Amino acid sequence: MSTSVEAKRGAAPAPKPAKPRLSDRARAERRLGLWLAGPAFIIMLAVTAYPILLALWDSLFKYRLTAPDDRAFIGLGNYGVILTDSVFWRDLGVTLLITVITVAVELVLGFALALVMNSALKAVRGWLRTAILVPYGIITVVSAFAWFYAFDINSGYINHWFDWVPGISPDLNWFADGPTALFVIIASEIWKTTPFISLLLLAGLAQVPGELTEAAEVDGATWWQRMGRVILPNMKAAIMVAVLFRALDAFRIFDNVYIMTNGAYGTEVLSLLAYRTSISRLEIGMGSAISVLLFLCVIIICFIAIKLFKVDLTGARGGN
Amino acid sequence: MKSSPVRRRVTWTIISIVVIVYALFPVASILATSFKIPSDLTSGTFLPNTWSTTNYEEILVGDAQDLFLSALRNSIGISLIATFVAVVLATLCAYAIARLDFPGKKLILTTALGVSIFPVISIVTPLFNLWRNIGLYDTWLGLIIPYLSLTLPISIWTLAAFFRQIPWELEQAAQVDGATTWQAFRKAIVPLAAPGVFTTAIIAFFIAWNDFVYGISLTSTDAARPVPAALAFFTGASQFEEPTGAISAAAIIVTIPVVVLVLAFQRQIVSGLTQGAVKG
Amino acid sequence: MPMDARHYGRPRKRARAAAGIALAIGATLLTGCSSEEGPPTLTWYINPDDGGQATIAQICTDQADGAYTIETSLLPSDAGAQREQLARRLAAGDDTMDIMSLDPPFVPELAEPGYLAPVPEDVAERTTQNVVEGALTGATWKDKVVAVPFWANTQILWYRKSVAEAAGLDMSQPVTWQQLIDAAAGQGKFLGVQGARAESMTVWVNALVESAGGAIVENPDAPADEIRLGLESEAGTQAAEIVSAIGKEGLGGPGLPTQTENTSMIQFQGDQGSFMVNYPFVWPATNAAVEAGTLPAGLIEDIGWTLYPQVNAGEDTAPPLGGINLGVGADSKHQDLSYQAIECIVSPENQSLYFTTNGNPPANTDAYNAPGISDTFPMAETIRESLELSKPRPQTPYYNEVSTGIQQTWTPPSAVDPATTPATSSEFILAVLKGEKLL
């Protein structure tokens, strides 16, 4: 699969047509291609492009669902309010913090899991894969409840199990304080999504040419040397793609926070702010403006990754 | 650093146990909680002091059955339809991308990518307004359409990668042997493509099954409410008592399909997810 | 994809079957057999309970004798989430919103844009007789009854007799928050209050401010940018002093910042329980736990109850008021029938039935006289008395903003500072109402 779309096309039976005049056959193929690919393309565009344009439009109004008569055009007023409000910046900070920590931990953990899957004995490989895929397939809300109940001061057992750890006692209320609550939220997020990153890394690991590692081993390189000089450099593309996808995914975190704290005590993230403003407060205008800003943030992250780290996104695709 | 087979075996057993405990512990935790009676919930122990199935009875045959069973029906129906539609559309699209020469391929793949990184919450508000106006609010279709935005991109990418690896010469060979285009496609290509399509379907199903934001925002009755959203509707014996047990039991039931699919198809899922994950 | 295809076929088949039924009905209508049509179905959106509303729906359907059928449809368990669902459906012009169970603080928000069908005068008159004053206020908007009071909830003071005795408190007399704080602190026990960042926090703050003679919102029916708050007052400061004292001295226990009605009950039932303000559900829940054997049998004997504590000794307390009012959607196709049904639902008999089976106290004082009530709820008289004194939360269309603003500035209780919190929360809420700040 190292070849690009264009190169692959050369292998297809149809000869590459000359640009100016298309043969009938090429034209028919062209039409068929558009017909086959069209519906999926249109649906994807309709479900996302239209709503985001609508959000862009709504964000220019002062508009509350339960006061439809007071709807008024206020230009960029909503954006002014949001961008000068510390709540927005605090939530952005929390979101970025969660993103950075989860991605960093998952990268290490996911790499370890990928190595395990890659070199496990045949006998246990199936079991390991099954076990690792369970968090991947489980519903995020279920994961959130599982972690929440385990740590909760009333229904949890973690406090009792780990009361020998300094700082943990039966009286520790994990969800009463930002840092401890974020710890549990991040733990649940990491548990649920590490399998995804480890599968992407597994794919990258499989692409490292075996001859290189063997040659390094023959030359007497230690495990660490092989890792640092041969394997990791050859996996750079895979790692960057995995990091970017998880970062964008983590940046949109919602379910875990909603279930565990609903944003209380400094755990609110941008998605939750958007949700609370437009769905709970029914402030459609302001909520749409936050949605648009969230969308812009995602684009900026993407842009930075592509420009700064030269991540080739078209070679990859996302997960959930 | 050559280690003996015995030592290798022991090492791998330990590693496997660690990984399996890591992966399954939270599931075991909520499983244990689901067997606790209400007053046992605060005991601070992992296992129930008395094992009880009251929580399951509550959601399957008891007071909460209307809520849970209709949500389960909605979740299964909506996820399956969304998966089916996504896989059909994505198969056509991916086939065209892998096999045919037409302009805009790159645009389609880039769009798919863009859609897959789209913040769901950003389109929930406008979709909610739109759905209200055209009557799709709180309907199956009103969830299936947004689910397509979640399932289509990954399906297209996975399938496009998959189709590029199929030896299409077989099709030509069959045609040379006198088969029609359709016959050649069916006899030579479908058997090769089916596993990829099936794997994609499982992955797409997981994604649709996992949705929460659309589920809570675009539904309001048991006409369309899926299970993850319905968990917020459980209640204890009175409105102030927390439905921890019922939620845990429901969580376990919705996890069963995931575990079954994973047990049966772990090999295919892993290869589906790793194939075409990275270019090069 | 045979598996998917099979499942996909099912809804289609069902749709075809439905179409067939529709055709069949159409045919009978055409032949003039309109009696086949059946009575209109009224949809009643209910908050989750222990099945009581469904039972009453059945009772009233039977009593209507074919005039209508009531079907229930469940709302989320969280009051805020109930409001979201209802508001969104009403704004969408849903014509199935026949009867709705409404939490009183959210009535104005739905009444103001005209989402609620007007209550016919005769119905209003009949259904508000003998209704406790707080519940009536909760059903009124701009001097008009816009919803029908169904049941009314209130918090009373629950106490462990042993703790009160050890503290030398005479519980037959009204007690003050300060006395409770001293008693709990003196014996190293925990006070049961709800300190979570949730609606229950607003309930508590409102009760404290009202008990001190103030009001959170001074002009509840004003437009958003003209609303005046009463937090920066003697009453607001007193409220902050109480919250802050309980928070700072750890009297609420380690769980206080996430303490809900349920978790404060669990704490109260334990060894460190002393006093607790909470709703009547505590009684059936505690009895059930004792019967299940997870709580000691002697616990029930040790539990006493009285009116919500006072802020200033000698000044009447203003306990929290909750409950449910019934409203009819303005777009409902069966408004008259819905009000008929509501009259049936809120009859004193049904209210007492609901109390004994589900533990939700009647809004109508008559319903307290029903036989059997004092057996199930020995504290029924205290509840009735508490309801008479109770004060609703601010009745404003912007209640959600006010309440969320309070929740964000008054939690965790240990961070409340009597010198600054009332002013900060006032400023914050007013800025949010003017659209200058995010919530």
| Neighboring chain B residues of C115 at a CB cutoff of 8 Å | none
Please tell me which of the candidates A66, A175, A280 has its beta carbon nearest to residue C397. A66
C residues 288-317 near B, CB within 8 Å? 288-289, 292, 294-295
The residues, ordered by sequence, that sit 6+ positions from C146 with a Cβ below 8 Å of its Cβ are C107, C111, C116, C118, C119, C139, C140, C327
Helix axes C399-409, C199-211, angle to 10 degrees: 90
Q: Are B98 and B161 in contact (CB under 8 A)?
A: no
Query: What are the C-alpha distances in Å from C109 to residues B132, C106, C139, C197?
Result: 20, 5, 12, 22
Q: Judge whether residue C209 has pLDDT over 90.
A: yes
Highest mean pLDDT among A147-156, B188-197, B232-241: A147-156
Give Cβ neighbours of residue B135 (< 8 Å, ≥ 6 apart).
Answer: none
Q: From CA C166, how far away is CA C158, in angstroms rounded?
A: 16
Phi and psi at B114, nearest 5°, equal: -60, -40
pTM of the model: 0.88
Residue contact C1–B198, C-beta within 8 A: yes
The torsion angles phi and psi of C69, rounded to 5 degrees, stand at -120, 135
The pLDDT value given to residue C18: 43
Q: What is the pLDDT of residues B69-83, one digit of tens each?
A: 999 999 999 999 999
Percent of chain A exceeding pLDDT 70 equals 90
Write a three-state SS string for B217-243: HCCCCCCCCCHHHHHHHCCCCCCCCCC
CB distance C191 to C198 below 8 Å: no
A252 at C interface, C-beta within 8 A:
no
**Mean pLDDT value across residues C19-23:** 41
Answer yes or no: is pLDDT of A229 > 80.
yes
B80-93: pLDDT as tens digits:
999 999 999 998 89
Contact call for C359 and B198, based on CB within 8 A: no
Contact C77, B63 (CB under 8 A): no
Say how many C-beta atoms besides its own lie within 10 A of residue A3's C-beta.
13
When mean pLDDT is compared across B241-255, C82-96, C368-382, the lowest value belongs to C82-96
- Residue showing tokens 């505690």: C286
pLDDT tens-digit map of A13-68: 444 444 556 678 788 888 888 888 889 999 888 888 888 898 899 999 998 888 87
Choose the mutation target among B106, B122, B216 for the interface with A, i.e. most A CBs under 10 Å: B122
Burial class (CB in 10 A: 0-12, 13-18, 19+), A87: middle
Token reading at C33: 């057999």
Hunting for tokens 């119905």 — which residue is that?
C123
Residue A313 pLDDT more than 60?
no
CB spacing of B234 vs C279 below 8 angstroms: no
Determine the Cα–Cα distance for residues B193 and B29; give it in Å rounded to an integer. Answer: 39
Q: What is the rounded end-to-end Cα distance, in angstroms, of chain A?
A: 23
CB C378 within 8 A of CB C200: no
The single-letter code of the amino acid at C77 is: S
Judging contacts by C-beta atoms under 8 Å, the chain A residues touching residue B106 are 5, 314
Q: Which of B101, B223, B132 is nearest to A279 (CA)?
A: B132
The residues, any chain, with a CB within 8 Å of residue B215's CB and separated by 6 or more, are B143, B225, B226, B228, B229
Looking at the predicted structure, is the pLDDT value of residue A2 above 50?
no
Of the candidates C430, C402, C396, the residue with the CA atom closest to the CA atom of residue C222: C396
Pick the more confident residue, B160 or C239.
C239
d(CA B97, CA A23): 20
pLDDT: which is higher, B129 or B149: B149
User: Using an 8 Å Cβ cutoff, are B234 and A147 in contact?
Assistant: no
| Interior/surface letters B23-54, b for 16+ CB within 10 angstroms, e for the rest | bbebbebbbbbbbbbbbbbbeeebebeeebee
pLDDT at C4 over 80: no
Q: What is the mean pLDDT of chain B?
A: 84
CB atoms C91 and A176 under 8 Å: no
Please give, rounded to a whole number of angstroms, the shortest distance from the CA of A157 to a CA of chain C.
Answer: 15
Q: In one letter, which amino acid is B10?
A: V
Taking the C-alpha atoms of residue B238 and residue C426, their distance in angstroms, rounded to an integer, is 34
Which strand ranges, in their side-by-side order, compose the sheet holding C69-74? C69-74, C41-46, C99-102, C321-327, C148-154
Q: Which two tokens stand for residue B136?
A: 């799709």
Cβ-proximal residues to B191 (8 Å cutoff; 6+ apart), any chain? none
Least confident of A85-89, B64-68, C169-173, C401-405: B64-68
Chain B CA closest to residue C291:
B39
CA-to-CA distance for A316 and A305, rounded, in angstroms? 14
Q: What ipTM was estimated for this complex? A: 0.89
The three-state secondary structure class of C365 is helix
Sorting pLDDT into bands at 50, 70 and 90, what band is C25?
Answer: very low
Distance CA C343, CA C123 (A): 7
Note whether C281 contacts B239, CB cutoff 8 Å. yes
The CA distances from residue B134 to B127, B131, C361, in Å, are 10, 5, 41
| 8 Å CB contact of A203 and B274 | yes
